[in-house]
Amino acid sequence: MKAYQEMSREELLELQEELTKQYEEIKAKGLSLDMSRGKPSASQLDISMEMMDVLNSKTDLKCETGVDCRNYGVPDGIPEAKRLLGEISEVDPDHILIYGNSSLSVMFDSVARSMTQGVMGHTPWCKLDKVKFLCPVPGYDRHFKITEFFGIEMINVPMLSTGPDMDMVEKLVSEDASIKGIWCVPKYSNPQGITYSDETVRRFARLKPAAEDFRIYWDNAYSVHHLYDEDQDFLIEILEECVKAGNPDIVYKFTSTSKISFPGSGIAAVAASKANLEDFRRYMQIQTIGHDKLNQLRHVRFFKNLDGVHEQMRKHAEIIRPKFETVEATLEKELGGLGIGQWTKPKGGYFISFDSMEGCAKAIVAKAKEAGVVMTGAGATFPYGKDPKDSNIRIAPTFPEPEELAMATEIFVLSVKLVSIAKLLENK
């Protein structure tokens, strides 16, 4: 079929009538399908179930240094957990702090601490006239919600195939001392699945911000989340690059096991310079007498080491990969060459990013919802929920069962076609 833009008004009207019949037939089925968030499916959760048997009433619950994990203490995390999360984060355990169950909570805490206490002795952000953050777009909606919650002004930075537009990042941070941070998902980014190039990482490490308390919020959520055994993206390690560049304190690197073991019941960690970690410890000793060491012990004894984590991720990939391939094949078959959409083909992570014709995303998501498919709200991948082009839609293939996903994708492409035709007819 030729591109929709090349069709006459009569051809578009005829196609619209045919597609509307298909849409109404599906709508009449009263389906309820969820492609809204990047959640693991029940099948993925099942592969971690043996973790529940690792600890029981007869288990030795002491960590390798002899500390009883049932009791208070060890706020940094037990040594074997620091070693495991250090391996996942590609840093020495001395540069790791273990937290609770969620890296998002650690990021929220880090912004909150910067607001009320300042960063390493600098003026608390709440006492400044203006605080700004750079936000690569499209990006992760929950990052943007944190900075929006604290009243921080967010500045869009376009994502390129190599990562954020570093010309823009370098210019802005070097000229404006009110810019205090940037959100980053550097590997298999949310939602595009982009991995930052070596040069992008090195340019981040070499940044010369006007604000001494500027920090890169490096959310390495998908560091081991490959879809393929051989064809994988590689990300160079940011802390090491920062040390080489004489900029050791500029980055906080966050990670967790949320999509490795159980979401909401994993282990979160931050990796940073020793000076930054001391800053973290100052508030941590007030906040807690120790995080959940039993959960730390459970994870370490289940995974044992990085090889165990990689084996777990291969099991995840076997479940997820066919789902991504289903969505990509359907998009190509139904929308390829029509000129009404573009999409990414990531090698890992949890999302596919779809760009419709300008001014169509909200209508597409609403159309899909009307037929029973819930998707992430259009605009969610931009600060304040405002996509200037109203074109980006995040597709999350992981949660639905395969047959549900196939049906949801069919409804999605049908919605794309109908909304695109309506848009083109407005201009003919």
Please determine, for residue 152, whether its predicted confidence score (pLDDT) is greater than 90.
yes
Output the pLDDT for position 427.
84
Query: Of the candidates 317, 216, 225, 325, which has an alpha carbon nearest to the alpha carbon of residue 273?
Result: 216
Output the pLDDT for position 428.
75
Q: How sure is the predictor about 60, in pLDDT bands with cuts at 50, 70 and 90?
A: very high
Q: How sure is the predictor about 188, in pLDDT bands with cuts at 50, 70 and 90?
A: very high
| Arithmetic mean of pLDDT, 82-106 | 97
Beta bridge partners of 374: 34
Please determine, for residue 116, whether its predicted confidence score (pLDDT) is greater than 80.
yes
Output the pLDDT for position 217.
98
Average pLDDT, the chain: 97
| Arithmetic mean of pLDDT, 316-343 | 98
| Arithmetic mean of pLDDT, 151-172 | 98
Tens-digit pLDDT profile for residues 18-42: 999 999 999 999 999 999 889 999 9
Please determine, for residue 193, whether its predicted confidence score (pLDDT) is greater than 90.
yes
Beta bridge partners of 184: 218
Output the pLDDT for position 37.
86
| Full 3-state SS string of 51-115 | HHHCCCCCCCCECCCCCECCCCCCCCCCHHHHHHHHHHHCCCHHHEEECCCCHHHHHHHHHHHHH
| Arithmetic mean of pLDDT, 229-244 | 97
To the question of pTM greater than 0.85 for the whole model, the response is yes
Please determine, for residue 308, whether its predicted confidence score (pLDDT) is greater than 90.
yes
Please determine, for residue 293, whether its predicted confidence score (pLDDT) is greater than 80.
yes
| Arithmetic mean of pLDDT, 415-427 | 96
Query: Of the candidates 242, 223, 239, 261, which has an alpha carbon nearest to the alpha carbon of residue 81?
Result: 261
Please determine, for residue 212, whether its predicted confidence score (pLDDT) is greater than 90.
yes
User: Residue 405 in contact with residue 36, Cβ under 8 Å?
Assistant: no
Output the pLDDT for position 1.
78
Query: Could you give all domains of the chain from N- to C-terminal order, each with its CATH number?
Result: 4-44+312-426 (3.90.1150.10), 61-304 (3.40.640.10)
| Arithmetic mean of pLDDT, 155-164 | 98
